[in-house]
Structure 1
Amino acid sequence: MRSDDAATLQAREFAWTAADFDRIRRLIYQHAGINLHEGKQAMVYSRVSRRLRETGHDSFKAYLDWLESSRDPQEWQEFVNALTTNLTSFFRENHHFVELARMVREGGPGRAWKIWCSAASTGEEPYSIAITMADALGLQGNFRIWASDIDTRVLQTAARGVYKLEQLRAVSPQQLRHYFLRGKGANEGLARVKPELQKHLQFFTLNLVDERWSLNEEFDVIFCRNVMIYFDHATQRQVLARLHRLLRPHGTLFVGHAENFSDARDLFRLRGKTIYEKV
């Protein structure tokens, strides 16, 4: 063992072994499909150790034994929440929103649009979708957005719809006026999504690797961005097949910049940069 590794171990609050990491890796894969590689050990230790403190356990083994034996759904959710990554921003990968606006304009004003944002995180992505739709159709336009995530804590933030102004730098001044209420006094520096825009969104918890999804819709568009990178190939294929079933004929799937599904040509054809069409 190198001296810097030994120093790191001595500084840790809880003992940490390869068996602990392998067990956590197995459990999060079983429950959320997340495939953790060896380079994630420091992240896993940091995040799961918070659960040890919160639940009063003095070792990872004791905590994991309790987690598996108790079958407490709330703690399982906290475990999953601890190990999910939520990196997002308004109008991230902006070419997707440019393409969505084009599709909506060409689709005509009378069409009812159904869109699913399958990794809503803290809300920046689904609200970016809603702003794009409202820009094209107006706040009274006929569109509805389903916004889901496996992490219950980030969904609470998304449902509140309150952001620091610095988080809204990609939102134009006109969009900020139309779709947000700026805070005053104690809320100076914050902005809240207007109810007129928020009414188009529905937030709910959904695990993409669950055997059954709480959805019975046919969507025009699905955003599933920067999610598949956490899944192994078999899980990716399973989720893609289920997304395919929920899209209308020739529906559109927007994916993340690091995701490529060229080996799923029987399900989706590439239509543009990280934009796929249902086969």
Structure 2
Amino acid sequence: MNVDLNIIVFGSTGLMGTAFETVCRKRSISYVGMSHQDIEITSMEMVNNVIERYNPDTIINCVAVPSIDPCEKDPELPLALHCTAVLHLAKECAKRDILFVQPSTHAVFDGLKEEPYTEDDQVKATNIYSATKLLSERFVATYCKKYYIPRFPTLYGLRQNNSMGFVDKVITWIREGRDMKIADDKMDSPTYSIDAAEVVISLIVNNEPYGLYHVANNGCVSYYDFVIRIKELMNADNNIYRAKDSDFSSEIYKPLRTALQSVKLKPIRSYEDALLDYVNTDVIGVSD
């Protein structure tokens, strides 16, 4: 289906940027990807020049500090990427009547709820990463009339750059035959990046109501059980030992239970089915 859209994606070589490109190509949607080699997202002049050149109707900003620890070590980085850059983009999108898609994170919750978090639950920042991501949400909601804020849980999938998330590291360790200790008290709703991108692009294509959405594969699982499932799907024999999140020393508070579910969207496929698809098509396929 050819959809008359013109999308710019900032952060195009990362996990979600790669997924958005894949989905846009599959749907024959006009797509321009901009990586950090193409543009400095904190430069207002460069951002404005790109917008002027391509005249998009939609901007998806996937630029972000990828994890919690670097934000605590260098707070200026998340302040620049999550706050200053997003504020400028939000104002520009509002001025030019551009739809703005600004992904956010499950880390905006404190992790004390037993059940998965929904869009209606109260947010509570617990570290610099979550505080700056929460500010980015508020900037977008304050300045933009046309926006989507998709909150994602832990994501996995192919990416064009060389960075590695938790699932990528686990797969590498399994291939290397390494034994692992994995927390069995840390709960999440791990989500395949392609599935997440499909949901967001569908929001855009179908002109769904603007606002905040939780986007996650259906279900909730501990990190330990998820890693066990990866091991089984890869037919590996590594030893996976139970541990507690507190066993991994960190002075930074990291929420324990941050699974997501939506009260606005129909459930998408389960995390089990998504993981099976990823391992069969991408992981095993790449290794053969």
* TM-score (norm: length of structure 1): 0.31
Tell me which structure has the larger Cα radius of gyration. Answer: 1
More helix by share: 1
* TM-score (norm: length of structure 2): 0.30
Higher relative contact order (CA 8 A, sep 6+): 2
